[in-house]
Structure 1
Amino acid sequence: MRRVTVAVGLLLVVGVGLALSGALAGPSAEGPPAGEPSAATVPEESLIAVDGDYRLWPYTSRSRSVEGRTLAINVVVRADAAATRTAIESRTAGDWEETDGTEAATTADAERVRAFVERDWADARSSTRYGYVEGPGGGTWLTETFELHDGTYLGVRDHLRAYESPDGAYTAIQAHEEYYDWFRLRHTVPGIDDPAVRLEDEFIRGAVDAEVSREYRGIEGGWSDGWISVIELASLATVAGALLRRRTRAAAVDLARRSRREAVRHADAALLGAALGAVVVGVRATGVGLELAYPTVPPKAIAGPLYLVLAVGLPALVVARSRECDPAAVALAVVVGVGAGFVIDFAALGVAVPPALVVHRVALLAALGAVAAGRAADDRPVLGAGLSAWAVGLALPIAGVI
């Protein structure tokens, strides 16, 4: 009776979790929050003057229409695209040293400084997003003049889309942070503010002589807070030719230590939980490692087989190794192990996880817990319900519901 109650509770968590994650999810990985207005044509009042003869519509779009609006433009460089790209890719001339405690109040934190001087910008691969400008001859839809990213496709990266105005007076940039979500099989955008600040920092403390300011333009929607960063390049004479070193991230997660007595008593369950967590973390590490080792291979060709490791490998491992375990212990071990893997994965990426995805992961944990409990108790209805819940949990994000 107790096992049935636990199983029903886990499946209830799955159902509620998937329902909530679908309700909380936005329309797309790169779209603004739901409910924002759209229009068939670009409204005159939404255009902003930057420089030169062309006013800017401060958003990107999936299509050549306002209805496809996604993220807001958040950086403008008063230079043509070639000069802008050269400036972004240039190495800093600074000689950075560790900052002690007495300097912390007046000097930028050393780790934050290293984060932006060790960036490694490279050409980005992504879906096409359009920009729009309007000049003396009317409106023009633009494709990306160039794209750059700092980071890895299958990990986390800052992604820049740049659009040069037709007269070359300025380059509008949409900067956002994105990470690859293994259960959605696509990128998720946590926000656009932090990447713009990091790009500002590069110009403020880098080798390029530039003036950086912020202007409030009242931009609404597309994750914008209304402000736009304006960068004016004073001189390109000091631009270095070498690419910046790759940004590194360090993340640490403290896990609660299980008591020795319980670890011995439920050693098989504990080992299973640890193995499952290692699989979750290993998939990300393997994907990023293969992407860096074989840069010519399309990232999605790497992601496909690794996704099967998660989608099929996790429940298969649970079914194979739960038979001789205590049902309650193995269910707990599976939830803790896979949950720890999710936490470590997100912590290593260093991104803010949308609430919808947090709820979705909780639902997946409950589904795997039900699979483990059903297998250990030799309860086929519970096992089948857990596997069905796992399948539904995988299908919803791929279908775009979450």
Structure 2
Amino acid sequence: MPEPRIGFRRHATTILAILLVGTLLFAHPGVLVPNSVDDEERKSPNDVRLVSPHPNSEAELWPFTSRGKSFDSLTLPINAVVQGHTSRVVSHLRNRRTAEWRNDTQEWQGISHEDEPTAGDDVAIEWHNTTGAVRYTYIDAPGSRGGWVAETAQIHDGSYFGSRYHLRLYEGGTGGQTWTAIQAHQEHWDWFRLRHSVGSLSAAQYYLDNQFYGKWYVEDVSRERFANGGIADTDGWVSVVELRAPTDVYPITLLWVAILLGSVGVQESMLSFVRELLSWLSAETTQRGIALGFLLLGLPIVVRGASIAVEMTVPTIPIKAVAGIGYVVLAVGLPLSAVILPKGHQSLDWFGVAILGLGLGFLLDYQSIGVTVLPIMVVLHRLTVLAVIGLLAVGGARQQADERWNLLVKTGLVLWIGVLLWPLFFSL
């Protein structure tokens, strides 16, 4: 088929740019409307609902977290309370293993070393100290422990640059009535937003419950209604854990990556097929297409895997440094590959190779960290990323044959800057 006219390409590029700007304005109408929140009167403790996390404690809790020391900047609901000190809760979750067994004549509980066998149904879990944005909650209590408080501790199971269960712990109460409120959520690192995207709160709550069910050091695990649901997938029922004695548990989470293999139907003899295949592979255009597809597919996976490996093996390197390097590799590597490698063939062929390779890369990247659900705005952003990379591949294929097609490459690079700025300045 003949190549579409230059004028059509220009119109298509203009339409794509208009759709991108329109999507931003539609998704974030506050861009056009002045924000008047600062003019409103801020809420006070008398304007919000407080709950009692411990039946014998005078301290009351606002069952949410907040970006700042204000009820108006609410973020996520508290979804678990453990009746005990934060240090004790962290000790239960972080330490290695606990062996438990009973027989007719004795009951035994003890802590084993890593190289000793244990009895019972041990679970593999990994909890580590971690970092994250500071979130506050409000505690109404007599004395100095009341008011706005930041996290007493942050721990996670998983990896910072992959997917993880992230816990923020807030200690309240005094003496034997001390309790630890927990905000638990499941999240994954989003390279385009340069921060984490929360996937589920209920999954993290159930996961946390399972750390305490059936343990001899737990008196009871129940659910109590705090009426703080309606955000994400929460229902307002909070897990309440009563501890009896300290212990150790050590989990390990295994990560599996599925690889799909396709088969090719052979109509001719095997020898003829091999000859045709070798001839096809020897062509420069074919080699460039394969290189482009595998490079776009592999970049998201390699950046994620390398970042997790550095995070786990070299903890002295700052998290922000690793994030910055990974972001630059994606921000520069993806468009550069799309512009340099394509040559020859129909331009739409290169568009297909680009979006197929990068699209599979995104899918395998999310699959490797266990992410199965994404917000609609994140999906829309990734589809826009695919469209812009495909546009750059078309421009890269034609720029050597026609210098006027350099305009398409320049337009694609401008749009690429736009899709990079989109998640950094507008919430997805």
1:310 aligns with 2:330: yes
Q: 1:350 aligns with which of 356, 367, 370?
A: 370
Give the structure 1 partner of residue 269 of structure 2. none
- Going from structure 1 to structure 2, the CA distance change for 1:193 and 1:373 (only over 3 Å counts) comes to same
RMSD: 3.0
Q: 1:229 aligns with which of 232, 239, 243?
A: 239
Pairwise CA distance, 1:381:
2.1
Deviations 1:230-262 (A, max 9, x none): 1111232xx13xx62431222426476688989
Separation (CA, whole Å) in 2 of partners of 1:9 and 1:143:
50
**Partner SS for 2:45:** coil
Pairwise CA distance, 1:358:
0.9
**Partner SS for 1:50:** coil
Deviations 1:27-60 (A, max 9, x none): 9xxxxxxxxx995223455111221111110011
Q: 2:414 aligns with which of 383, 388, 391?
A: 388
Q: For the Cα contact (< 8 Å) 2:218–2:241, is it kept in 1?
A: no
Give the structure 2 partner of residue 102 of structure 1. none
Give the structure 2 partner of residue 365 of structure 1. 386
Q: For the Cα contact (< 8 Å) 1:156–1:178, is it kept in 2?
A: yes
Separation (CA, whole Å) in 2 of partners of 1:226 and 1:94:
34
- Residue type at the aligned position of 1:179: H
Q: 1:180 aligns with which of 168, 186, 189?
A: 189
Pairwise CA distance, 1:7:
7.1
Give the structure 1 partner of residue 313 of structure 2. 293
Q: How does 1:7-86 map to 2 (within 5 A)?
A: 9=12, 12-13=15-16, 15-16=18-19, 19-20=22-23, 23-24=26-27, 39-43=42-46, 46-51=49-54, 52-86=57-91
Structure 1: state its 5+ residue gaps: 28-36, 96-115
Separation (CA, whole Å) in 2 of partners of 1:213 and 1:257:
51
- Residue type at the aligned position of 2:351: A
- Residue type at the aligned position of 1:126: G
Deviations 1:338-365 (A, max 9, x none): 1110111111121222111111011011
- 218-227 or 15-24: bigger deviation: 15-24
The structure with the larger Rg is: 2
- 12-21 or 295-304: bigger deviation: 12-21
Q: For the Cα contact (< 8 Å) 1:78–1:169, is it kept in 2?
A: yes
Separation (CA, whole Å) in 1 of partners of 2:65 and 2:225:
19
1:144 aligns with 2:151: yes
- Residue type at the aligned position of 2:50: L
Separation (CA, whole Å) in 2 of partners of 1:8 and 1:254:
38
Q: How does 1:333-348 map to 2 (within 5 A)?
A: 333-348=353-368
Q: For the Cα contact (< 8 Å) 1:162–1:173, is it kept in 2?
A: yes
Pairwise CA distance, 1:323:
2.7
Pairwise CA distance, 1:276:
1.3
Deviations 1:302-323 (A, max 9, x none): 1212211111111112211113
Q: How does 1:91-130 map to 2 (within 5 A)?
A: 91-93=96-98, 117-130=123-136
Deviations 1:163-186 (A, max 9, x none): 111315211000111211111111
Q: For the Cα contact (< 8 Å) 1:183–1:394, is it kept in 2?
A: yes
| Identical-residue share of aligned pairs (%) | 31
Give the structure 2 partner of residue 2 of structure 1. 4
- Going from structure 1 to structure 2, the CA distance change for 1:3 and 1:85 (only over 3 Å counts) comes to farther
Give the structure 2 partner of residue 247 of structure 1. 253
1:374 aligns with 2:374: no
Q: For the Cα contact (< 8 Å) 2:134–2:151, is it kept in 1?
A: yes
Q: For the Cα contact (< 8 Å) 2:229–2:237, is it kept in 1?
A: no
Q: For the Cα contact (< 8 Å) 2:13–2:411, is it kept in 1?
A: no
- Going from structure 1 to structure 2, the CA distance change for 1:151 and 1:273 (only over 3 Å counts) comes to same
- 59-68 or 246-255: bigger deviation: 246-255
Q: For the Cα contact (< 8 Å) 1:120–1:244, is it kept in 2?
A: yes
- Going from structure 1 to structure 2, the CA distance change for 1:14 and 1:247 (only over 3 Å counts) comes to farther
Using CA pairs under 8 Å that are at least 6 residues apart, name the structure with larger relative contact order, 1 or 2: 1
**Partner SS for 1:337:** helix
- Residue type at the aligned position of 1:371: L
Q: For the Cα contact (< 8 Å) 1:214–1:227, is it kept in 2?
A: yes
Residue-pair matches, total: 369
Give the structure 1 partner of residue 199 of structure 2. 190
- Going from structure 1 to structure 2, the CA distance change for 1:319 and 1:38 (only over 3 Å counts) comes to farther
Q: For the Cα contact (< 8 Å) 2:163–2:189, is it kept in 1?
A: yes
1:329 aligns with 2:349: yes
Q: For the Cα contact (< 8 Å) 1:21–1:357, is it kept in 2?
A: no
Separation (CA, whole Å) in 1 of partners of 2:209 and 2:411:
51
Separation (CA, whole Å) in 1 of partners of 2:41 and 2:207:
30
Pairwise CA distance, 1:205:
4.2
Separation (CA, whole Å) in 1 of partners of 2:342 and 2:245:
65
- Going from structure 1 to structure 2, the CA distance change for 1:198 and 1:342 (only over 3 Å counts) comes to same
Separation (CA, whole Å) in 2 of partners of 1:199 and 1:401:
28
Pairwise CA distance, 1:83:
2.0
TM-score w.r.t. structure 2 length?
0.78
- Residue type at the aligned position of 2:49: S
**Partner SS for 1:204:** coil
Separation (CA, whole Å) in 2 of partners of 1:248 and 1:153:
15
Separation (CA, whole Å) in 1 of partners of 2:9 and 2:99:
59
Pairwise CA distance, 1:197:
0.5
**Partner SS for 2:212:** helix
